[in-house]
Amino acid sequence: MKTYTIKTFGCQMNHSDSERVAKVLEQSGFSRCEGDQVDLFIVNTCSVRQKSEDKAYGFIVQQKKKYPNALVAVTGCMVRQTGDKSSSSDNLLKYDPIDVVFRIEDTARLPKLLESHFLDHDFSEFSNAFGSGSLENYFHIVPKVENKSQVFVPIMQGCDKFCTYCIVPYTRGRELSRPMEDIVSECEQHVCNGAVEITLLGQNVNSYVDQGKKCFAELLLKIDVLHKQGLSRLRFTSAHPQDFTDDVIEALRTMQTSCPYVHLPVQHGSDRVLRAMNRNYKVEKYEDIIRKIREAIPNVTIATDIIVGFPGETEEDFQELCAFARRMKFDFSYTAIFSPRKHTPAARMEKDFIDQDEKKRRFHVFDNIIKETSWENRESAVGTTLEVLFEKSEKQSDGMYVNSGRSREFFEVFVKSGRPLRGREVMVGISERKGYVLSGDLPESEGIQRAHTSLSNKLKVLTIK
Ligand code: SF4
């Protein structure tokens, strides 16, 4: 049997893609291996920043030195940077340590692509098992999920928005949604296998289209029905303010599986900068959406994405951004310092580039505002009880487990316990906040917590000591 390993760089979408690649390989007679005997290295790349690409190249060189006999196959965003399949593939193949290059939607063809490299492996049964290389066939691959209680389901690929700083529309291509029926059926399968939380993935999930009409709210409501089978949480990422319509807010208000957490990237707090970024909305519209969300969903937490130091950002624009963030009282911000991405319009705005030290100064000022509001918001969770779904449990030398997970509000919570809590949804009494992180205890008086069992998918009562 041949062995493989996958290294994934970048966003959740890439991690989800890797689960489909793993499935194709395992059904083609490969087994996963993290040791020295690896025959095939898959590197799933990200090109959101130059740094991400440099990291991937560095990793490939390192692995090729360590395992000179292993085949290196590269996929992900770096494969399609030019938007032209053949030229981008050829460019990567010129790079010595790379042996095979494939677009993620060609995953179904992977056995065929590997055939000539593994002559001692019989691919005859598998080479056409997944069909030809197309996005439709790609979506039909049932992923090999790493964590059965928390799964990620892609609902669309690509982006049509063309923000001036972003490479995604050139790497992932134009928006293409999956049929609603397929998505709901994949979600059903995951819930049957024990999924408690599903996160819908896409570059702009709320531009989701089925049969020619935008219907993200309808999709949410259809999946929400799985609550009866054991689905507890339905999340999604990323959303765009332009398509965050009232019906989506209404769906979030009424759904059983809705979580009081919305991640809505705004990118800036100055209309002038938003225009230069081609974001197609004004600050006022964004504030209006957040006001409606806060009215509809009590205690909702709001996260956003911000770029500081976009070309031409004046001190006045920056002050507008700071005032905006103070007004919004965000619970979290994924803040980035602007860095030009080759092949994007913003990379050509050189004459407006801002000095690196000044960008760093602005970043720190902004980051402190976010810390202030988000830490204050988390502080108000101390003394309350939150429902936490645990993702990791690590055994300590004293025999106890340190468990970490997320509350429905997406707060990160740590708890010590006598047995591992991974995969369970547990009520936790929050006792402390340190930075962005909360810690707490399992209330002794209760001793009994509820959790979903991955076997029967019925609510099961577990005694946790
Ligand atoms: S919406 Fe803008 S930032 Fe998001 S993926 Fe599309 S182009 Fe990039």
- pLDDT of 59-117, one tens digit each? 998 988 888 889 999 999 888 654 444 555 556 666 678 888 888 888 988 888 888 88
Tokens of 63: 């692995």
Atom of ligand 1 minimally distant from the CA of 279: 2
CATH for 286-379, among 3.30.110.40, 3.40.50.720, 3.20.20.10, 3.30.750.200?
Answer: 3.30.750.200
- Residue with the larger pLDDT of the pair 150 and 136: 150
241 lines ligand 1 (CB under 6 A): no
**Over the chain, what is the mean pLDDT?**
89
Every domain of the chain and the residues it spans: 2-135, 145-259, 286-379, 385-463
Prior bond to 333 cis, omega within 30? no
Judge contact between 251 and 220, C-beta under 8 A: yes
| pLDDT value at residue 342 | 84
pLDDT in tens, 409-438: 999 999 999 999 999 999 999 999 999 999
Q: Which CATH class is domain 2-135?
A: alpha beta
pLDDT in tens, 345-358: 999 999 999 999 99
Which DSSP string do the residues of 288-353 spell out, in sequence order? HHHHHHHHHSTT-EEEEEEEES-TT--HHHHHHHHHHHHHHT-SEEEEEE--PPTTSGGGG-GGGP
* Percentage of residues of the chain with pLDDT beyond 70: 90
Judge contact between 41 and 71, C-beta under 8 A: yes
| CA quadruple 347, 350, 353, 357: dihedral sign | positive
The partner residues of 258 in beta bridges, in order of sequence, read 234
| pLDDT value at residue 371 | 97
CATH for 145-259, among 3.40.50.300, 3.40.50.1100, 3.30.70.2740, 3.30.750.210?
Answer: 3.30.750.210
Atom of ligand 1 minimally distant from the CA of 160: 6
Residue with the smallest CA separation from ligand 1 atom 1 is 161
Atom of ligand 1 minimally distant from the CA of 169: 7
162 lines ligand 1 (CB under 6 A): yes
Ligand 1 centre distance from Cα of residue 171 (Å)? 11
Residue with the smallest CA separation from ligand 1 atom 8 is 166
Residue with the smallest CA separation from ligand 1 atom 2 is 163
Ligand 1 centre distance from Cα of residue 235 (Å)? 19
Highest mean pLDDT among 74-78, 258-262, 339-343: 258-262
| CA quadruple 69, 20, 55, 36: dihedral sign | negative
Residue 7 pLDDT > 80, yes or no?
A: yes
Ligand 1 centre distance from Cα of residue 159 (Å)? 6
Q: Which CATH class is domain 385-463?
A: mainly beta
CB atoms near residue 377 (< 10 Å)? 19
Residue 460 pLDDT > 90, yes or no?
A: no
| pLDDT value at residue 240 | 97
| pLDDT value at residue 452 | 36
* Cα–Cα distance, 30 to 128 (Å, whole number): 16
Q: Which of 81, 204, 208 to mutate to test the pocket of ligand 1 (most atoms within 8 A of CB)?
A: 204
Find the range with the poorest average confidence among 155-159, 263-267, 309-313, 357-361: 155-159
| pLDDT value at residue 86 | 52
The partner residues of 6 in beta bridges, in order of sequence, read 42
Highest mean pLDDT among 63-77, 116-130, 373-387: 373-387
Find the range with the poorest average confidence among 170-174, 363-367, 379-383: 170-174
Q: For the residues 163-184, what does the mean pLDDT come to?
A: 92
Can 145-259 and 286-379 be said to share one CATH topology?
A: yes
Judge contact between 131 and 140, C-beta under 8 A: yes
240 lines ligand 1 (CB under 6 A): yes
280 lines ligand 1 (CB under 6 A): no
282 lines ligand 1 (CB under 6 A): no
The structure tokens 């209760």 sit at 446
Residue 446 pLDDT > 60, yes or no?
A: no
Atom of ligand 1 minimally distant from the CA of 203: 5
pLDDT in tens, 200-240: 999 999 999 999 999 999 999 999 999 999 999 999 999 99
| pLDDT value at residue 88 | 53
